[in-house]
Every structure is written in structure tokens, then in C-alpha cells.
Amino acid sequence: MFNKLKERLSGFTKSLGKQIDEKAVPVEPAQEEVAEIPFVSSSGSETEQQPLDDTATENVIDDTEPQKTTVSDLNTGTKYIEDAKASKSPEQKKTGLVSKAKALVFEREFILEEKDLEEPLWDLQIALLESDIALTVAEAITEAVRSELVGSRRKIGKDTTNIVEQALRNALYDVMSANVFDLDDYVRNAKKPVHIVFVGINGTGKTTSIAKTAKRFKDMGYSVVLAAGDTFRAGAIDQLQIHGDRVGVKVIRHQEGGDPAAVVYDAMQYAKAHKADIVLSDTAGRMHTNLNLMEQLKKVCRVSAPDLIIFVDEAVAGNDAVERAAQFNEAVPINGSILTKTDADAKGGAAISIAYITGKPILFLGMGQGYDDLQKFEPKWFVDQIFE
């Protein structure tokens, strides 16, 4: 998943990391002392335990991970850490005392200026665009990285790529978590039956996503009803029926060519009568450019007044998916999106862009053809995937 994006972003963090490394200068080392810390067991007596030694030593060294070097380095005027562990005599270990250790804490720092970042950020923007991230989103991400890195004096340890990676992580996280909506919370608290309609263009995975969502909610203990609202495509009703039978949920269906709004209405009546919790309505796939079919979709949504409308598209469609999401959102205000086929998507751009462009969250990622291949979308989880 998203391998190409991972590769491009890691290329960026490495090359900017290298640049920072070259630019970083050592700063006046600070001299510190380790406090004398006796080991006291829970019974109050000194013990021979040693683990605290390590902790205490690390505390001296600072979280910038200074490089440990030999004492002879001191002569060169750069840095040294007299390792507290190394200086411990068996005697000291026995009494459980950490030795007093002098440490020169080696630190380097850098300040990045606008001009240092010009080229790397341009490369980053190209990498994002080539990963199918929409232009405005790519700009927002590079801008966030710029404002995090430019100007401030930063201390660094050994690994300069961490600083760049963190800036990129923060930028991606901010872009993706702007519109958070927890569907599970919503369903838990909403008046039942909750009615959710799935919309999108042909073949993107609406029906499959309905089956996956139905299974997910059923596994959570809810009773679910499906409405076979795609009365348009031959075989669509039977396809939903097969999914319903496999997952073990009721399917309300009419004849092919019937009025989708009437099917959805019946499904809601059935759900109310049987005290079902959730109705998931399928709709026919339609191009956002087909005005007649989009009008029909508006009608279905108006008549059945769903609680939520979910836009389904495939991640592999990249920027096209982003554009379609925006168009569907104009016709029937969507509450969120499901991105399918992320298992086959190397670029990852649609996932990053859709939420930002529509202002509506991504709810799930479809990650395969099995019923359990539905991943609840969490911005942090997603960002972790990219940098794993």
C-alpha cells in the first residue's frame, strides 16, 4: 500500500536530512554531573540491582542522542562523554551507587533559512503531485513543512532525518485530521434506525463496501438491513442479495427497473417494524457528469432523507477520485468517503486529498476483496503507515 509515496517521502527526508547535517554546527558543550543516586529496594535497604544505572546515565545525556566518544576526543576540543557505566567499579556496583560522572553533552544545532528549503520543498511538492495529491493539498503540506522548519534554531542529535520526518508527519497529520468524524460514535448515539446511503461512480466498490460495513456493524452487535437501491444495472439486486446472504443480513428488494426511492422507503419501514438499528442503501453507479442520473440521486436522497451519505471511490483513481468527490458533494452533501482498493494503490494521493478538498472525512479504507478488508480510517494510523 502506498509504496511509491513512501519511497518518495523517504527520499525527501533523507536528502533534506543530509543537508541539515552538513549545515549543523556544534554548540558549546554543557557540562553536567550525574547525581549520586543510591539504589534503595522496596524494603528500604540498598540493593545490588543495577537497572537504574542505565536510566540515570541516559538522563545525563539528553534526548538529542549525543554521540558517545572516547576521552581522547576531548583533546580535539569537540566532545566527550565519560560513560558513567564504564567508570563504575565493582565496588560501586556492589553498594549500588551510580558513580559521579562528568559529561560533556555534545549538541549540534542548525537554523534553516528560506533559501535552504527552496529546492527541497520544490522536490517535495513534485513528489506529492506525482503521488496524485491535489495541487492545493500539496501546497498546504509543503507550506506546513516550511513553516515548521524555517527560521527556528533547532538542536539535533545524530539522526537529522528524524527532524524532517517529524515535520512531514505533522503536516500530513494536520491535513488529514482537519475533519474528524467518528462513525461508530455517531451510530451509537443516533436515533435508530440510522439510514446511510452509499453513492459514487460505476464499479468503485459501493456494493462491496456496503457488505463490508454491514458485516462490521453486525459484528459490533447491531442489526442491519440492506436496501437494493441499484435497480438500474442488470444483476445488481442479486449481487447485493448474495452479499446479504453471506453476511447474514436482510435485503429489501424490488424488481429491476423499479423506483430506487421506493426500495429505500420500504427498507426503512421494514427496519422500523423490526427494530433494526441500521439501514445501508445501495445506489446505482453513475458518472458525476450525467445530469439526469445525478438528478435521480438527488431525488432518492431527498425522499429517503438519509442520516448520512457516504461517497465511495477507488484510491487508484487518484486525482479523478478527488474531483468526483467534490462533484458528488455538490449534488448530495456527503458526510464522508470510503476509499476502496487501497491495497492496489501505490500513490496514496487520493487518501490524502479527498478529506482536505471535500472538507469531509475519510471513514474507511477498502483494503481487499474480503468482508473484513475494511480499515477504519484514523489519521495517525495512516501517517504511521507511510513512515513505517
Binding site for ligand GTP (CB under 6 A): 200, 202-208, 230, 233, 236, 285, 340-341, 343-344, 366-369, 373
Cα(209)–Cα(214) distance, integer angstroms = 8
Alpha helices in 181-335 (DSSP H): 183-189, 206-219, 236-247, 260-273, 291-304, 319-331
Strands (E), 83-205: 102-111, 153-156, 194-199
253 binds, among Mg ion, ligand GTP, none (CB under 5 to 8 A by kind): none
| C-alpha cell read off for 231 | 435497480
Size of the site for Mg ion (CB under 5 A): 2
Q: Which does 369 bind (CB under 5 to 8 A by kind): ligand GTP, Mg ion, none?
A: ligand GTP
Residue nearest to ligand GTP (CB): 285
Distance CA 92, CA 82 (A): 16
Shortest CB 284 distance to Mg ion, Å? 7
Residue 204 touching Mg ion (CB under 5 A): no
* CB 200, min distance to ligand GTP, A: 6
Q: Which candidate, 179, 195, 186, places its Cα nearest to that of 229?
A: 195
H or E segment and range at residue 136: helix 135-149
Task: Tell me how far, at minimum, the Cβ of 237 lies from ligand GTP, in Å.
Answer: 11
Residue 366, C-beta contacts closer than 8 angstroms, at least 6 positions apart: 205, 208, 209, 212, 314, 338, 339, 340, 341, 342, 343, 373, 374
Q: Which is nearer to Mg ion, 79 or 286 (CB)?
A: 286
CB 220 to ligand GTP: min, Å:
20
Decide: is 207 part of the binding site for Mg ion (CB under 5 A).
Answer: yes
Find which of Mg ion, ligand GTP, none residue 336 binds, CB within 5 to 8 Å per kind.
none
Which of Mg ion, ligand GTP, none interacts with 40 (beta carbon under 5 to 8 A by kind)?
Answer: none
Q: Is 208 in the site for Mg ion (CB under 5 A)?
A: no
Contact of 277 with 184, CB cutoff 8 Å = no
Closest CA to 36 of 53, 21, 50, 19: 53
Nearer to ligand GTP, 96 or 229 (CB): 229
We find the least distance from the C-beta atom of residue 371 to ligand GTP, in angstroms, to be 11
Smallest distance from ligand GTP to CB 9, Å:
23
Residues 245-274, interacting with Mg ion (CB under 5 A)? none
Q: Is 340 a residue that touches Mg ion (CB under 5 A)?
A: no
**Residue 169 or 253: which CB sits closer to ligand GTP?**
253
Closer to ligand GTP by Cβ: residue 116 or 373: 373
Instruction: Say whether the peptide bond before residue 26 is cis (omega within 30 degrees of 0).
Output: no
Q: Which stretch binds Mg ion (CB under 5 A): 92-100, 151-159, 186-194, 200-208?
A: 200-208
Residue 280 β-bridge partners: 196, 226
Residue 375 interaction partner, one of Mg ion, ligand GTP, none, beta carbon < 5-8 Å per kind = none
Query: 71, 163 in Cβ contact below 8 A?
Result: no
Shortest CB 226 distance to Mg ion, Å? 11
Measuring CA to CA, which residue among 315, 336, 323, 301 is closest to residue 182? 336
Of 187, 269, 182, 272, nearest to 222 by C-alpha is 187
Q: Are strands 250-252 and 278-281 parallel, antiparallel or unpaired?
A: unpaired
Output the smallest distance, CB 151 to ligand GTP, in A: 43
Query: For residues 206 and 347, which CB has a smaller minimum distance to Mg ion in the complex?
Result: 206
Using CB under 5 A, list all residues that contact Mg ion: 206-207
